[in-house]
Amino acid sequence: MYRMIGTAVVGLFAVAVAQAHFPFIVPDAKGDSAKVVFSDNLEPDPAVNIEKIANTKLTLRDANGKDAPVEWKKEEGFYAVNVPGRGDRVVYGMTDYGVLQKGDAKPFKLAYYPKAVIGAATAKPVGEKLALEVVAEGKAGALRFQVLAAGKPVANSEVTVMLPDGKKKAETTNKDGYTPVYDAAGRFGVQAKHIEAKAGEHAGKKYDEIRSYATLVCDVAK
């Protein structure tokens, strides 16, 4: 009986994980445009109202390291983004999701930090402009990801890595903020979590902790 209960709990947890949605910036094959989706994978979810992330502010860092705001257009199930320029570029942003409270649990401030790398996957970190971000390090056959909070490594961060073959792996970062090494080539999607026990007030609402989620989409050449 205990085993059955344990299995049921695990099953419910798996469903909860599968239903978690995050903003991902998904570039097209040429790197000229991108879709911003709110999903549990890199495809638009037609069952989710994309306007939930309407206040996302996006920035393009061009090949010369210059930042500029990026505009988008609402489409069916995603936001369409033009990505001007050539060479290695990074599109990154922040979604202020406000203060939430579930039942009698502590209220928390929620923010998302999506990012996509166009060109070399191992682009330099955005840095302190992002409260949380994921960066890629290495090359095809020896690639790993690091979670950074304002440029500093985050240990014990819960990470989900979407592999090029479509499978997902749940990981926890080591003391230096790194995931294990992956030997695949192709498109990766990564989502990382960071919780801070820090109280404050936002938009007139008090909160007891800050929950931040960072996502990364990048392509690793063979």
Summarize pLDDT for 15-71 with one digit per residue, the tens.
334 458 999 999 999 999 999 999 999 999 999 999 999 999 999 999 999 999 999
pLDDT at 82 over 70: yes
The β-bridge partners of 109 are 99, 210
The β-bridge partners of 153 are 148
CA distance 90 to 113: 13
CA distance 28 to 39: 17
pLDDT of residue 10: 39
pLDDT of residue 143: 95
pLDDT band at 200 (very low <50, low <70, confident <90, very high): very high
Place of tokens 């502590």: 106
pLDDT of residue 86: 93
- 107 and 93 in contact (C-beta within 8 Å)? no
Question: For the whole model, what pTM was predicted?
Answer: 0.89
pLDDT of residue 12: 36
pLDDT tens for residues 112-135?
999 999 999 999 999 988 999 999
pLDDT of residue 14: 38
Mean pLDDT taken over the chain: 90
pLDDT of residue 56: 96
**Strand, coil or helix: what is 10?**
helix
Helix extents (H) in 54-162: none
**Strand, coil or helix: what is 189?**
strand
Q: Which residue has the higher pLDDT, 128 or 219?
A: 219
pLDDT of residue 3: 41
pLDDT at 4 over 80: no
